[in-house]
Amino acid sequence: MKKSIILFFAILFINSMLFAQVDRWQQAVKYNMNIDIDVTANRFTGKQKIEYSNNSPVILTKVFYHLYFNAFQPNSSMDLRSRELGKMLVNKQPDWDGRVKDRIVNLKPDEIGYQKIVSLKMNGIPQPFKYHETILEVKLIKPIAAKSKVIFEMEFEAQVPLQVRRSGRDNPSTGVRYSMSQWYPKLCEYDYEGWHPTPYVAREFYGVWGDFDVTINIEKSYKLGATGILMNAQEIGWGYDVPGTELKTTNKTKRSWHFVGKNIHDFVWTADPDYKHLVYKMPNGGPTLHTIYNYKENNPKNDTAWATVLKAAAKALPYIEKTFGKYPYPQYSFIQGGDGGMEYPMATLLVGPSLGTVFHEWMHSWYQMMLGTNESMYVWMDEGFTTFAEDKVTAFYNKKSALQGLREALIKNPSNKNLKELIDILPEDQSDSYAGYFSLAKSGLEEPMTTHSDHYNTNFAYGNAAYSKGAVFMEQLGYIVGADVRDKILLSYYDQWRFKHPNANDFIRIAELVSGIKLDWYKEYWVSTTKTIDYKIDSLWEENGVSKIRLKRVGQMPMPIDLQLTFADGSCEMFYVPLNLMFENKPNEIPAQKREVMEEWKWTHPTYIIELKQRLTDIKIVEIDPSKRMADIDRKNNRLELNW
């Protein structure tokens, strides 16, 4: 009896430990910042107070801050890296970021960016610190105990650089005066893998979850958009109190804008005297949507385009929430600023009103702003998942897929052979991403997606891996487990990991639990290697009244196979060949079509034979993966038409 009781509690303890691992500890912050802007000198001073919760089981002897503006100085890591990549030609073009190029080295002293720390205290005691360009290292006089809180107080000064990358001032392409992203000293993340003091070389970002209370004091004619809720809207006006109102008058030289954002990991703001502000409140308690754009020229087409951003967002949100999870914040702002499109909590910077970019940046609210992976290490989970979601939302909004758009283009230009070839090999959904991945896989420049985002050898490889191959990961997952199951995985992932820092294994584990299929092999091959998929129809013959079809794996990555046969009478049948590493079958995705589940294909075996009772001459078409979701790099040997 005692042994049974001991065994019961042992099992209970083990199970509780397994479940506890899902909810990893994570640090927390509460920022309170007050800054004062000098719009003539393009400089500002700031006071920052942070309540930092060390929720880890580790005693911390140091902390790190990001000082992003220090990247915008001649001979910085960002500058040198861009110029070095510019020496490399990819597709006969310099491989640098077209927005950075060699612009930083040419910045004058009053055009560079910098962040300087005037003082730094922890619990009222000054702390020693050391600059590492864009990283500030603070060796604490007294360690931070595990499961404790401390208060950091900092005074700092900064100069806003000319617009180069993401943040800056006086962008000639938009006319926006200030795009203030990565503008404040930001605590680096400490997680179960340790500190992440990632230098600002090109990309990406990772931050601590917390609350932000930010007051911006700026010349009174400026109008602002930002993360969070404007707490003094009645004092400011300009549509924040009631849509359509003007900026309220003040006798003060400067105006204070007070924004608060909760449960977020970054904060962005912009400012310009000529901004225009449009507002739409979603019904039934939904978020308030803002569009803020430059209005220096009376351009009716520009007004219409930015108004369309608001209408498109309002139309898409119900679909987005149904497909990817509920948007939890009280507002979202689409703000003209930056140098392209860049996501932040409750806001995005957009160089223009292109709806493709609008949907992409908004979907980052799910894949990074709520599901906050370490972008540097798992950029494909950030950009790739977002690109996948963007395609889904765009197709919903346009009521057609990207491939349908290519078909329409071919009708207008039927002599375009390249377009015809693309249409023949691309799937209905995510067609742009598949095209990008195929280009990467055949370039000889591909690197594993486990590569740190700043350490890719080329911008070309980074971009196509992060955006295209990352999106293909998700669409191809639908091929492996079934599209409906994949969609359930996305909602379960949202439910269990939002407001946390999931990694690739966390996503795969959710996918396995929902689908019942083992998927560790898929992550290993697709993410950790550059091995490619290539299957072919090898041969067909009859033997003793039995028709046989031999398939061959040419590429190094194994996959389950959908083989569709079309017969002389017009009927179709799917022969599903699961991979032995899966230990389960995906459901029949086309219930109206007959499907036969075959014996599993061992990944060690390069060939597989399918046997069927029909005569060989009854078969008209044999096709591997008619949905084209399997990223087979050579689809020419996937389809065989038989003219007996």
Q: Give dist(CA 515, CA 492) in Å, integer.
A: 11
With cut-offs at 50, 70 and 90, classify the pLDDT of residue 23: low
pLDDT at 297: 65
Q: Give dist(CA 431, CA 435) in Å, integer.
A: 6
Query: pLDDT tens digit string along 68-81?
Result: 999 999 999 999 99
- Whether the upstream peptide bond of residue 600 has omega within 30° of 0, thus cis, is no
Kindly give the residue spans of alpha helices, DSSP state H, lying in 429-499. 431-441, 459-463, 470-481, 483-497
- Residue 58: strand, helix, or coil: coil
pLDDT at 80: 97
> Is the whole model's pTM more than 0.85, yes or no?
yes
Query: pLDDT tens digit string along 242-272?
Result: 999 999 999 999 999 999 999 999 999 999 9
Ordered DSSP codes for 268-311: -EEEETTEEEEEEEPSTT-PEEEEEEE-SS--HHHHHHHHHHHH
Residue 508: both structure tokens together: 């795969």
Q: Give dist(CA 523, CA 604) in Å, integer.
A: 18
With cut-offs at 50, 70 and 90, classify the pLDDT of residue 419: confident
Mean pLDDT on 437-444: 98
Sign of CA dihedral 50, 56, 62, 63: negative
Mean pLDDT on 457-468: 98
Q: For the chain, how are helix, strand and coil distributed in percent, rounded to 5? A: 30, 30, 40
Residue 435: count other Cβ atoms within 10 Å of its Cβ.
17
Residue 412: count other Cβ atoms within 10 Å of its Cβ.
8
Poorest-pLDDT segment among 346-360, 412-426, 620-634: 412-426
Determine whether 57 is exposed, middle or buried from the number of CB atoms within 10 Å of its CB (0-12, 13-18, 19+).
exposed
Using alpha carbons, list the distances in angstroms from residue 526 to 469, 485, 626, 629, 635. Answer: 9, 19, 21, 14, 18
Q: Give dist(CA 485, CA 587) in Å, integer.
A: 9
With cut-offs at 50, 70 and 90, classify the pLDDT of residue 316: very high
Query: pLDDT tens digit string along 564-608?
Result: 999 999 999 999 999 999 999 999 999 999 999 999 999 999 999
Q: Give dist(CA 406, CA 569) in Å, integer.
A: 31
Query: pLDDT tens digit string along 148-161?
Result: 999 999 999 999 99
All domains of the chain in start order, with CATH:
395-528 (no CATH), 535-641 (2.60.40)
With cut-offs at 50, 70 and 90, classify the pLDDT of residue 295: confident
Residue 293: count other Cβ atoms within 10 Å of its Cβ.
26
Share of the chain above pLDDT 70, in %: 96
**End-to-end C-alpha distance for the chain, whole angstroms:** 74
Backbone angles phi, psi at 532, to 5 degrees: -110, 165
pLDDT at 410: 87
Share of the chain above pLDDT 90, in %: 91
Per-residue b/e over 318-357, b at no fewer than 16 CB within 10 Å?
eebeebbbebebebbbbbbbbbbbbbbbbbbbbbbbebbb
Using alpha carbons, list the distances in angstroms from residue 482 to 9, 485, 524, 598. Answer: 39, 5, 20, 17
Residue 547: pLDDT above 90?
Answer: yes
Mean pLDDT on 375-382: 96
Residue 122: pLDDT above 70?
Answer: yes
C-beta separation of 420 from 410 below 8 A: yes
pLDDT at 418: 84
Kindly give the residue spans of alpha helices, DSSP state H, lying in 297-351. 300-324
pLDDT: which is higher, 65 or 10: 65
